[in-house]
Amino acid sequence: MLLEVRDLHVEFRTRDGVAKAVNGVAYGVDEGETLAVLGESGSGKSVTAQAVMGILDTPPARITGGEILFQGRDLLTLKEDERRKVRGAGMAMIFQDALSALNPVLSVGDQLGEMFVVHRGMSRKDARAKAVELMDRVRIPAAADRVRDYPHQFSGGMRQRIMIAMALALEPALIIADEPTTALDVTVQAQVMDLLAELRRELHMGLILITHDLGVVADVADRIAVMYAGRIVESAPVHDIYKAPAHPYTRGLLDSIPRLDQKGHELYAIKGLPPNLMRIPPGCAFHPRCPMARDVCRTDVPPQAEVEGSGGARRSACFFWRECLDGRHDG
Ligand SMILES: Nc1ncnc2c1ncn2[C@@H]1O[C@H](COP(=O)(O)OP(=O)(O)O)[C@@H](O)[C@H]1O
Ligand SMILES: [Mg+2]
């Protein structure tokens, strides 16, 4: 396994109290594999990713437990200079907002080239040539002419390609893309997603794709992990989830995707709001919103049950995963 997150806990100390943002997350990514991490806003997707990248601000964040094994080493035990080497060369991150992730006063060529100067000791001239090569690779038209341009001179989609190029520069084994297309127009979203999928295949990288949009992951991901209130509530191979979810929260997410083949069909929305992370409900955190909830769900935390017949590939944190799989609802 390329990356294995084990029982990760992260909290934020604020003036109003302690927000438990990540509460025992476990997930893994193999070489060349794509894991999609799904869940509503505030479920802990980005905080988990930032912990993996080692870019959490501590304080206010505090990692209170767990391990992050990358190529067999626990990153949480590394010193900051070792950690820095892993970033960039071992793993890289793509953010939602390229404009704030890129340096506005450096040309894109200089920013891309910097990676090769700093990490590979290249000359400015060679680094510039590498920058053009990368811009070509992410299909920026007329790369050689545009290498001197600044981030604001590019369209949103092109800027996102430049950030992808930055992430790819040192050919890391793992890329984490945190809602990489959310800020883009729908048609551009699809192009950027296709590019990412293609590069991942070409370079055989592991990819963690964070998104709140179940619609985009079907074609791209191998596995899905669904997060709710800082926990993984279901994890499974992507096709299994589309066939039949084993957690009522996943079912709710699936039922709320607009579908072209069901025009006029009323769109389902999961009732209620995600919990306040300073007061996570007892038992299953999803129970106040769950159409299947029973007494035990209000008192007991459901374990990560292995879905029978999946050979360990599929887990659900619902007491009633069987009924969920069968599509039986109480509500
Ligand atoms: N800088 C911060 N200060 C306080 N709380 C934070 C901070 N960043 C994140 N959190 C808490 O962590 C939760 C999870 O955030 P995040 O991982 O960004 O969610 P998402 O799933 O939308 O990426 C938030 O709902 C919030 O309670
Ligand atoms: Mg986020």
Counting residues of the chain whose pLDDT is more than 90, the rounded percentage is: 66
Q: Which residues surround ligand 2, an ion (CB under 5 A)?
A: 46
Choice from 8, 47, 93, 96 to test ligand 1 binding pocket (greatest atom count within 8 A of CB): 47
Give mean pLDDT, residues 54-78: 95
**Residues forming beta bridges with residue 29, ordered by sequence position:** 3
CA distances, 70 to each of 22, 78, 97, 170 (Å): 19, 11, 26, 17
Question: What's the angle, vertex CA 4, arms to CA 247 and CA 137, rounded to 5?
Answer: 100
Type of residue at 86: V
Q: Is 187 in the pocket of ligand 1 (CB under 6 A)?
A: no
Give mean pLDDT, residues 213-225: 85
Which atom number of ligand 1 is nearest to the Cα of residue 178?
Answer: 23
Residue with tokens 């590069």: 199
Residue 211 main-chain phi, psi, to 5 deg: -160, 155
> Strand locations in the chain, DSSP E?
3-14, 17-29, 34-38, 61-70, 73-74, 91-94, 174-178, 206-211, 223-228, 231-237, 305-306, 315-316
Other Cβ atoms less than 10 A from the Cβ of 53: the count is 19
Counting residues of the chain whose pLDDT is more than 70, the rounded percentage is: 95
- On whether the CB atoms of residues 207 and 35 are closer than 8 A, the answer is yes
Residue 30 main-chain phi, psi, to 5 deg: -90, 165
- How far apart, in whole angstroms, are the C-alpha atoms of residue 42 and residue 225? 15
Asked whether the CA dihedral 41, 43, 49, 55 is positive or negative, the reply is positive
Summarize pLDDT for 243-275 with one digit per residue, the tens.
Answer: 899 999 999 988 877 665 555 555 677 889 999
For strand 3-14 and strand 61-70, is the pairing parallel, antiparallel, or unpaired? antiparallel
Residue 211 has pLDDT above 70, yes or no: yes
